[in-house]
Structure 1
Amino acid sequence: MTTVSIGIPSYNEESNIKTILESVLDSNLHSINLSEIIISDDSTDNTPNIVNQFMKNHSKKIIFLHNDKRRGAGNAWNDIIRNATGEIIVLYDADVKPNPDCTLELINKINNNVGICASNPRAIPSKGIPAQGTIFVGDWLESVRRSHLCDYTVMGRGLSIRSDIAKKITIPETLISIDLYLQGKVMEMGFDVVFNPKAIVQFQPAKSFVDFCSQVIRATKGHSQLKKLGYEIKNQLTLKAAIVEFIRVAMRNPNGAISTCLCYIMIPFYMATVKNLDSALWHTARSTK
């Protein structure tokens, strides 16, 4: 019987932590044995109390690792991987809601050749220009990945990784794009990385311009940081392919395309206001919580 450890890094997730825990425990795992749920937490809000109460009422399989200082998601992933006992590790952001079959879909793609399986993040429908822009970008990324146009497969929110592979990797604590770093390391070891469109995780889109811009800037800074470290995933998306997919998605969602353009126009105005752009301790997108 396959065993799985589920890891959740959290920082001030009092509004979301109960939802993700309930979603995980309600997952359709069939013959998969859940070894433990590991939460690596740096919160200063009520998250620890909520988790401790949840542990008393619902599950003894939760391991809660609390730190008094914020250290970043990379350190949290390292903690989770180090403490995991399952054959496969599934990592979820604390502010997502996996579909009931998501965990099983992520697990079933892992085999002797496949080291990582990436989830399919879907933004929850919301109104407003930033939200519509976030939804459009998510649809565009899904279209790119379904068409195999780029090797940037692992894009956060949720993924699965073989435990024996993960335990050979240590994520630098200052790193922003920890998902791409993990993907690259797995590919360097000679294993495949796959995307499963059926492994759907739902998330709240950015509902303010500052949060939309901070997420885009953070992704850009993360890629630049990896390049400076001499680390880059090959087969980047060409401009032509990016435009073709943009037009394809825009035909289905013209309002989303317009919203996305408006959001990107706003980015220069927020460059000076968003703090910690080059840090793993990035600006927290409050409107997505």
Structure 2
Amino acid sequence: MLWKPLGFITFVMNPTQMQSFGCFLLIVLFTSSFSVTAQPKGYLYDESKVAPYELPDPLVCLDGTKVTDSKAWLKKRRPEVLSLFEDEVFGRSPGKPKAMRFEVVEEGKEALGGKAMRKQVVIHLGKGKKALAVNLLVYLPRKAKGPSAGFLTINFMGNHTVHADPAIRVPTSWVRNGNGVKNNKATASSRGSRASRWAIDAIIDRGYAFATVYYGDIDPDFHDGYKNGIHPLFPPKDPKKRNPTDWASIAGWAWGLSRCLDYLETDSAVDA
């Protein structure tokens, strides 16, 4: 996999897949104006005060053997590095949920001046009181002659903010207060407010699809002890004590993107 930065966008790209098969790219956008949940007291931001440490050599396995070829990397060292990130940074995420279904609430609607087809899908996760609805917005190039490769993205203020398209559903989940948001509830007045950050028209013009999901549908970005969003679907063994390797919000958002990709893999108009 190749990490390739593009302005304020960073995405993971497999060149072979893009050239030979097409694929959906997972995109994470971070901007200086994006406000994240405030960290609790005790976090250290001054690097000069960090205790001495030595970073592990990425090409030396835990048992001391060196990585000398791609086979050793893929079979041995890569899993070790991923495990370190799980244990020390992001926590360990669960797999696919047993209770998951896709509901297409809008399909094949002309959009963006006729050059795209709009589709809106609700991904239902879990059952009963803990059930969660994640809304996925998809634009497909109308003149595509076959399945379209594209971009799967995550947004921070609601699907309706990525474009002024009046048909995009406004989220009903928690949204950070700001313009067009009152009492943590989004309103139509914020429609298209983040459109300048998204090159949707350019993506469609070049023959690619575009999909986006609001991160608050997956896990609302405020601390409540992981009692909302997707975390209640996978309760810890001891709810009164978190394990150091328990997943949190960043892993949760990535997990939610994977569920969106699960849907896209079922869509015949998408080359996922």
Q: TM-score, normalised by structure 2?
A: 0.23
> Which has the greater radius of gyration?
2
Question: As a proportion of its length, which structure holds more helix?
Answer: 1
Q: TM-score, normalised by structure 1?
A: 0.22
